[in-house]
Structure 1
Amino acid sequence: MSDALINGLAGAGGGIVAQLITYPLLTVNTRQQTERDPSRSAVGDGAVRQMLEVVKQEGWGRLYGGLAPSLVGTAASQGVYYYFYQIFRDRAERSAQDRWRKGIGDGSVGMFQSLVVAALAGCVNVLLTNPIWVVVTRMQTHKKTSNGPPIHALSCLREEAVNLAVVEHQPCRTSHVVQELYNEAGLWGFWKGVVPTLIMVSNPSIQFMLYETLLKKIKRRRSLNTKGAEGFTVHEIFLLGAVAKLGATIVTYPMLVVKARLQVKQGLHDDKRRQYTGTYDAITKMIRYEGLSGLYKGMGTKIVQSVFAAAVLFTVKEELVKAARVLVTGELRRINNSRMKTPS
């Protein structure tokens, strides 16, 4: 089994665990990002209070709206990302070694090369998995009252009258959202928000650059010559992952808000201030009508969710990678031993 495949599968496993633990925060954060009322707190909208409101008004299940496609998206995203990241990383390391043999550099992958590697893997990931996340965003922002029909996400309604006076409540299902997206804009509807999402590639790029830079510096101080995170404790990996994600989130958060605004359902009767034709239009309207603080709505919640999720992801991934390598090594040893025992 190749390192790329091991890292891809481990990344998918780590991503699923992190998603399950932090999903309620992710749902609340998406709602905060798509809140259009400028009177609401821009940065800290009270995640705990909002979670309690959702539970009271809509039930516990709404905190996990879109969980199924989200888990599929997380597994696909992390698997694709880590798989291609490891492939690009291996090529960068071989290139660095070749330059070192020619007397250029120290044979290690530098900060800029790490950034490029992460960016390339991120672009591949975005282009392949964006449709899943558009569906997830729609399902997370679907709201309903405790006693009546939904008050948002018209994908979950069947119109019985032109003025929407009479509606029949339907559960918000993945199939409904997929059909709505296709009816709205055809196949392109599944790539709504892809431009800011591609820009957001810099988030994992910065994250992994910080993570590997910190890892490399600590290795030098400890005089370690190990591969990956071998030689580090689970707590150390958790902390490094959290610090790296914190730095990346603060820098790139505005693009995350813009992406959510573009992917969420735009009401039929919304005024022009709430309808966006693209990334630039969304940014300019948000700044004009909501101020710069509008670009940072829900950032407090996102920092808590993303930092904790990233720390869990890194920790689980590294443990799974170690376990996989042990299993592969043990399997190879058994095969070699059996060959040695086989008479010629």
Structure 2
Amino acid sequence: MSDALINGLAGAGGGIIAQLITYPLQTVNTRQQTERDPKKVSGDESSSASTGNPGAIAQMHKVVKHEGWGRLYSGLGPSLVGTAASQGVYYYFYQIFRSRAEAAALEHWKKGTGDGTVGMFSSLVVAALSGCVNVLLTNPIWVVVTRMQTHTKGPKKIDVGQVKSSASGTLGIAAIEPLPFGTSHAVQEVYGEAGVWGFWKGVVPTLIMVSNPSIQFMLYETLLKQLKKKRALNKDNDGVSALEIFLLGAIAKLGATVLTYPLLVVKSRLQAKQVKGGDKMQNYAGTFDAIVKMIHCEGVAGFYKGMSTKIVQSVLAAAVLFMVKEELVNTVRLLVTRDLGWVSKVKSRPP
């Protein structure tokens, strides 16, 4: 089994576990990002500071109270598929590009340049290339997930023709619950709005956002390298513990999230349902149009809606992912090594 495949499978496994743990926070955060303050949009510039987005706990309580527990996990199915695909694709190509970068660094060292290790810039390029491949292949999944997360259970619709009237005494259905909104409904809605290209909405800011995992992995690799170097100087052969991997992953993700969060908000706005015929300032034709309208209607603060929720969700998810991935990689390598050792012993036995 190749190292790239081991890392790809381990990344997918770690991503699924992290997603299951943090999904309610992700749903709440997506809703916070796509919420518009109607008072602010209509021109009341002072309202945003006083209202703002509700906190994560308050938002969760609101969703559970009005829509039920299940809405916190809306889109979980396609999200798990997307997470497995994204992490698997990302780590697979990351390991391939990383191996080539390491081979190039070693070749340069043999020629008398460099120290034989992959530097910060090379790590950034490797992560960026892996991220671009991942985005182009998996963006349709995340468009569907965003639609499902932001779809709210609307108010009951009154059937005017059948409601009991004091004058005529007509009896009928007073209210009708809206139809359920599942994966197929989301797919049909996206396709109905913009055809096949609708599944690549928000791909431009998402491609730019490959800088997030790039920064994350650059920080993570740098911190991990420094820690290992310190251990080597102290002649400590215990290696890096799962807890240390957890903390390094959390720190790396925190730095990357703070720097790239505005792009995430723009992406969510583009992928959420656009209400046709409504306020034109709330409908976005593209990335640049969304940025201009958000600045005009909501100011800079609009680009940071729900950031505290995202920081908690992202840091926790990344830390769990790194920890689980490293443990899975080590376990698989150990099992493969044992199997190879057992096979070698069998082959070496005399007939």
**TM-score, normalised via structure 2 length:** 0.89
Aligned to 2:264: 256
Pairing 1:193-342 to 2, within 5 Å after superposition: 193-223=202-232, 231-341=239-349
2:95 counterpart of 1:94: no
Aligned to 1:185: 194
Measured at CA, do residues 44 and 240 of structure 1 come closer, stay the same or move farther in structure 2, by a change above 3 Å? farther
Q: Deviations over 1:245-294 (max 9, x none)?
A: 00000000000000000000011232110011110110011011100000
Q: What residue identity is the alignment partner of 1:17?
A: I
Q: CA deviation at 1:43?
A: 7.5
Three-state SS of the structure 2 residue aligned to 1:96 is: helix
Q: What residue identity is the alignment partner of 1:103?
A: G
Q: CA deviation at 1:148?
A: 2.4
Report the Cα distance in structure 1 between the residues aligned to 2:22 and 2:189, rounded to whole angstroms. Answer: 28
Report the Cα distance in structure 2 between the residues aligned to 1:170 and 1:192, rounded to whole angstroms. Answer: 25
Measured at CA, do residues 275 and 309 of structure 1 come closer, stay the same or move farther in structure 2, by a change above 3 Å? same
Q: CA deviation at 1:167?
A: 7.6
Measured at CA, do residues 170 and 86 of structure 1 come closer, stay the same or move farther in structure 2, by a change above 3 Å? same
Aligned to 1:83: 92
Percent of aligned pairs with the same residue?
71
Q: CA deviation at 1:184?
A: 1.5
Cα-Cα RMSD: 1.9
Q: What residue identity is the alignment partner of 1:272?
A: K
2:129 counterpart of 1:120: yes
Q: Deviations over 1:36-75 (max 9, x none)?
A: 1144569863100000000000000000000000000000
Q: What residue identity is the alignment partner of 1:290?
A: E
Measured at CA, do residues 181 and 220 of structure 1 come closer, stay the same or move farther in structure 2, by a change above 3 Å? same
Report the Cα distance in structure 2 between the residues aligned to 1:81 and 1:52, rounded to whole angstroms. Answer: 34
Q: What residue identity is the alignment partner of 1:9?
A: L
2:110 counterpart of 1:104: no
Pairing 1:20-99 to 2, within 5 Å after superposition: 20-37=20-37, 38=40, 39=47, 45-99=54-108
Contact 1:44 1:299 (C-alpha < 8 Å) held by counterparts: no
Q: Deviations over 1:222-256 (max 9, x none)?
A: 1179xxxx811111011000000000000000000
Q: What residue identity is the alignment partner of 1:192?
A: K
Measured at CA, do residues 43 and 315 of structure 1 come closer, stay the same or move farther in structure 2, by a change above 3 Å? farther
Q: CA deviation at 1:96?
A: 0.3
Aligned to 1:174: 183
Report the Cα distance in structure 2 between the residues aligned to 1:21 and 1:269, rounded to whole angstroms. Answer: 38
Report the Cα distance in structure 1 between the residues aligned to 2:231 and 2:138, rounded to whole angstroms. Answer: 39
Aligned to 2:153: 144
Report the Cα distance in structure 2 between the residues aligned to 1:212 and 1:304, rounded to whole angstroms. Answer: 21
Report the Cα distance in structure 2 between the residues aligned to 1:337 and 1:91, rounded to whole angstroms. Answer: 33
**TM-score, normalised via structure 1 length:** 0.91
Measured at CA, do residues 182 and 117 of structure 1 come closer, stay the same or move farther in structure 2, by a change above 3 Å? same
What stretches of structure 1 of length at least 5 have no aligned partner? Answer: 150-165
Measured at CA, do residues 224 and 89 of structure 1 come closer, stay the same or move farther in structure 2, by a change above 3 Å? farther
Q: What residue identity is the alignment partner of 1:32?
A: Q
Report the Cα distance in structure 2 between the residues aligned to 1:342 and 1:185, rounded to whole angstroms. Answer: 69
Report the Cα distance in structure 2 between the residues aligned to 1:48 and 1:81, rounded to whole angstroms. Answer: 32
Measured at CA, do residues 253 and 62 of structure 1 come closer, stay the same or move farther in structure 2, by a change above 3 Å? same
Measured at CA, do residues 224 and 136 of structure 1 come closer, stay the same or move farther in structure 2, by a change above 3 Å? farther
What stretches of structure 2 of length at least 5 have no aligned partner? Answer: 41-46, 158-174
Report the Cα distance in structure 2 between the residues aligned to 1:186 and 1:276, rounded to whole angstroms. Answer: 16
- The higher radius of gyration belongs to 2
